[in-house]
Amino acid sequence: MLKSSFGKQKLIPIPGSGRGPLDKTVPNEPGLKCPSCSRRVMEMELKEHKLCPHCGHHFPLNARERLEIIADSGSFQEFEVGLRSINTLEFPGYDEKMTQAINETGLSEAIITGKATVGGYPCVLGIMDPGFMMGSMGSVVGEKVCRAMERAIELKIALIIFTASGGARMQEGMLSLLQMAKTTAVLGRFHQEGLLYISIITNPTTGGVSASFASLADIILAEPGALIGFAGPRVIKQTISETLPAGFQKAEFMLGHGMLDCIVERGQLKKTLELFLRLHGGEKNG
Ligand SMILES: [Zn+2]
C-alpha cells in the first residue's frame, strides 16, 4: 500500500460531525486548521460540502456524506450490503484492523455501491471511503466494483464512481493486485455495451485504483487539489533523485498533462453529473 499525503495526516473525527475524518493539527483549540490557508475553521462553517470558507479547500468526505450531496434524496438502493473481506492469507492483525474499520465507519468495506438517481437520471453509483483502511482495494472492493459494472450493464444505465484510495490492500497480497486486472476486464465489457462511465477522482487516489478503474472512464473528473498518482511523490523523488515540479501529481498538474477532462469544485459536482447524464441520453425516472 502506498503512503500518500493523506496517510501522513493525523485524522480524527470532529465531535458532533459524524465520523468524517478531518485533520486537526493544533490540539486543544476549537475547530480545525485548514491545511491550505492555515486559518482556523469552525465545523459549522464547513457546511454539507465541507469546504474551507476562506480558501475553498476541500476537506475529506466519507462515503455516506458524499452520497448525501450527490444522490437524490431517498433514491439510493445499496448493492451487496454487508459483503466484507476475509483474512484468506491469515495476515497478522488484519482481522483486528477490519473490525476497527467496520466499527469506526459503520461500513463493511471501503466502497459502497448501489442504484440511485442524480437529478432524476438513474445510474449505478460507487463511492469509496478514504477512512476505511485508507480506501485500500482488497478482493471485496474489486468484487463490488465489478458487480456494480455488471448491474449497470444489466440495467443499461450509466456508471459513476468516486475514487479515494491509498492503493492495493497489502494484507491481501496478490489477491489485491488481481483486482486491477479484474475490474479492467469487466470494464472492457461495460465499454463494449456503449454505456457511459464517469469517474470522479478525489483526494487521494493512488496505487492500484488510480492504475485501473479510476483512469479508464469515458469522462474523468477530479476535485481541486486531489493527489492522483501510482507511486506517491516521496517514493518517486527517492527513486529518481530529482526535485519534482511544483504541484506534482495534484489534480491541476494532471489536468495540464492531459490525464483529466475537468476539475470540478464539489459544490458544482452534482449539476455537472446531471449535465453529462442528460447529454449522453439519460432518461429521467418517472
Ligand atoms: Zn482554507
- Answer whether residue 215 is part of any domain: yes
Q: pLDDT (tens digit, 9 = 90+) per residue, 154-168?
A: 999 999 999 999 999
Is the pLDDT at 9 greater than 50? The verdict is: no
Residue 14 reports pLDDT greater than 90: no
For residue 56, the CA-to-ligand 1 centroid distance in Å is 6
10 assigned to some structural domain: no
pLDDT for residue 28: 63
pLDDT at 17: 38
pLDDT at 18: 40
* pTM score, whole prediction: 0.89
Within a domain: 31: no
Three-state DSSP class for 39?
coil
Domain membership of residue 38 (yes or no) is no
State yes or no: cis peptide before 92, omega within 30 of 0. no
Number of domains in the chain: 1
Within a 10 A sphere around the Cβ of 50, how many other Cβ atoms? Answer: 22
- Answer whether residue 7 is part of any domain: no
Cα separation of 273 and 77, whole Å?
19
Residues 68, 114, 169, 86, CA torsion sign? positive
Residue 233 lies in a domain: yes
Reading the block at residue 37, the C-alpha cell is 490557508
> Which chain residues have CB less than 5 Å from ligand 1, an ion?
34, 36-37, 52, 54-55, 57
pLDDT in tens, 95-140: 999 999 999 999 999 999 999 999 999 999 999 999 999 999 999 9
Which CATH number fits the domain that encloses residue 162?
3.90.226.10
Q: What is residue 218's three-state secondary structure?
A: coil
Please give the residue range of the domain that contains residue 251: 60-279
The number of helices, as runs of H, and strands, as runs of E, in the chain is 10, 12
**DSSP secondary structure, 150-205, as one string:** HHHHHHT-EEEEEEEE-SB-GGGHHHHHHHHHHHHHHHHHHHHTT--EEEEEEEEE
Flag whether 285 is in a domain: no
Residue 74 pLDDT exceeds 50: yes
| Distance from residue 33's CA to the centre of ligand 1 (Å) | 8
- Judged on CB neighbours under 10 Å (0-12, 13-18, 19+), 238 is exposed
Query: Is 205 inside a domain boundary?
Result: yes
Identify the band that residue 284 occupies on the pLDDT scale cut at 50, 70 and 90.
confident
**CA 195 to ligand 1 center in whole angstroms:** 38
